[in-house]
Amino acid sequence: MLIKTNFHYPAMLRVAGKNCVIIGGGAVAARKLATLLAAEAKVTVVAPLFCDEVQKLASAHGCTLIKDYYKPEYLQNAFVVIAATDNKAVNRQISEAAPCLVNNITEPELSNFTVPSAISEGDITIALAT
């Protein structure tokens, strides 16, 4: 049986050159960082600690790493925010404070967009959302 979600408006985002912020520095943040970088976004990652993959990607692509805990001012001027900490309460705060598109990895229902699985070949992208 398929479960209906409340996400009814499919869209593809052009994030090239746009300010995107990831709060969190672990494996999930690294995956989100990789996809934003592939889309040529300008990414800032905020976390008290960064996994090796986040550090490697940031170094290779000139991302800004801010070694700090979440503060609402880090969301200013963001086009997209990813709440990717392992703390649901912090991710809730981020979802509530974000003045833009926000993806909450621990509680997707608090997001105003989701990121589907996608495969691209040339100019064609196929996305699948559940």
For 82-97, what is each residue's pLDDT tens digit? Answer: 999 999 999 999 999 9
What does the pLDDT look like over 31-49, one tens digit per residue? 999 999 999 999 999 999 9
> What is the distance between the alpha carbons of residues 84 and 54, in angstroms, rounded to a whole number?
12
What does the pLDDT look like over 13-31, one tens digit per residue? 999 999 999 999 999 999 9
The two beta strands, 42-47 and 19-23, are parallel
- Whether pLDDT at 4 is above 70: no
- Whether pLDDT at 1 is above 60: no
The two beta strands, 64-67 and 80-83, are unpaired
Query: What percentage of the chain reaches a pLDDT higher than 90?
Result: 78
> What is the distance between the alpha carbons of residues 122 and 3, in angstroms, rounded to a whole number?
32
Is-above-0.85 flag for pTM? yes
- Topology classification of domain 19-128: Rossmann fold (3.40.50)
Mean pLDDT of the chain: 93
Domain edges within the chain: 19-128
